[in-house]
Amino acid sequence: MQRAIAAALGVAPEEAETAVPIVIITTTGDRVQDRRLLEIGGKALFTKEIEEALIDGRVDCAVHSMKDVPAERQPGLVIAAVPEREDVRDAFISLNHEDIASLPQGARLGTASLRRQAQCLYLRPDLEPVLLRGNVDTRLAKLADGAADAMLLALSGLKRMGLQDHARSLIDPIDAPPAPGQGALAVETRAADAEAVWAKALNHAPSALTVTAERGALEALEGSCRTAMGAYARIDGHRLTLVVEALTPDGAERFRRHGECPAKPEDARRLGRELGEAVKVDGGDRLVL
């Protein structure tokens, strides 16, 4: 992303580090590894400290994993660009098994995601969820040490680190929709910089459009770490199709809605909100942990 921003500014690749210095900010979400996010404040713990630096002027833009960006925005900040999206799918990882169906009775499934946990329990209520948090390397090491029999990770994260060969199989995004925005990055800026030439150059319109639809559902469902919900949008010509689902935390019940609309931002967000609201009505309070 550093080189992409430098290129958008007209800076030569060899001067990127000087022209666009990286400021590393470790968030509370990164530091606390022994509890679920819902116990310590939710997804905002991955963005709060970074957004404070943006508001204070210590940084000029922030790059987040879109699936970690809360639905509610900080006043004065905007998502200025969505670069081209990576693969949206979840990857099944195990030392000895090929997929969820092949896991033995009562196998331990490692995940920190309520959505992934509920989706797996919907298919296999016998599985035993095990909390696994940390970066990709940490989770892979825990799996190798026997902390779980299998786990699910975003394929995009594995690919960005060159670790995609660890995936034994991939989860169909229609059968089990990923987190809204999974596989996409969010370039966040102060509102005054939203129309900057460099920001516009980073935006990939089709990716931004699918993310808009999925996050519309996120807004409607008040998606947080307390709601096991997923959404998957794709574009076919001039039409956008979207599937939204939410499950009870124990995976016992699943509520799904499908729809399509013109491939335009205003229509995509409206469709996301409509489907999300319909799922919310269907599931009610049973959807919230």
- d(C-alpha 177, C-alpha 56), whole Å: 36
Query: Cβ distance 161 to 192 under 8 Å?
Result: no
Q: What is the pLDDT of residue 223?
A: 65
Query: Cβ distance 83 to 185 under 8 Å?
Result: yes
- d(C-alpha 112, C-alpha 148), whole Å: 12
* Amino acid, single-letter form, for residue 114: L
Report the interhelical angle of 205-220 vs 265-283 (nearest 10°): 30
Q: What is the pLDDT of residue 11?
A: 87
* Amino acid, single-letter form, for residue 137: D
- d(C-alpha 82, C-alpha 32), whole Å: 28
- d(C-alpha 188, C-alpha 138), whole Å: 27
Q: What is the pLDDT of residue 26?
A: 76
Global pTM exceeds 0.75: yes
DSSP 166: G
Which residues form the catalytic set? 68
Q: Is 288 helix (H, G, I), strand (E, B) or coil?
A: strand
- The strand order across the sheet containing 77-81 reads 62-65, 185-190, 77-81
Residues of the chain with pLDDT under 50: 40
Q: Give percent of the chain with pLDDT exceeding 90.
A: 78
Buried b (16+ CB within 10 A) or exposed e, 246-277: bbbbebeebbbbebebebeeebbbbbbbbbbb
- d(C-alpha 219, C-alpha 205), whole Å: 21
With a CB cutoff of 8 Å and minimum separation 6, the contacts of 266 are none
Six token digits for residue 124: 């296999």
- d(C-alpha 107, C-alpha 151), whole Å: 11
Domains of the chain: 2-86+179-283 (3.30.160.40), 90-170 (3.40.190.10)
Closest to 147 (Cα-Cα) out of 132, 126, 169, 128: 132
Going along 111-192, which residue ranges are E strands? 128-130, 150-154, 169-170, 185-190
C-alpha dihedral, 42 to 215 to 3 to 45, nearest 10°: -10
* Amino acid, single-letter form, for residue 260: E
Six token digits for residue 133: 């948090």
Closest to 71 (Cα-Cα) out of 177, 197, 214, 174: 214
Query: Cβ distance 114 to 226 under 8 Å?
Result: yes
Instruction: Check residue 10 and give left, alpha or beta (phi > 0: left; psi -120 to 50: alpha).
Output: left
Mean pLDDT score across all residues of the chain: 92
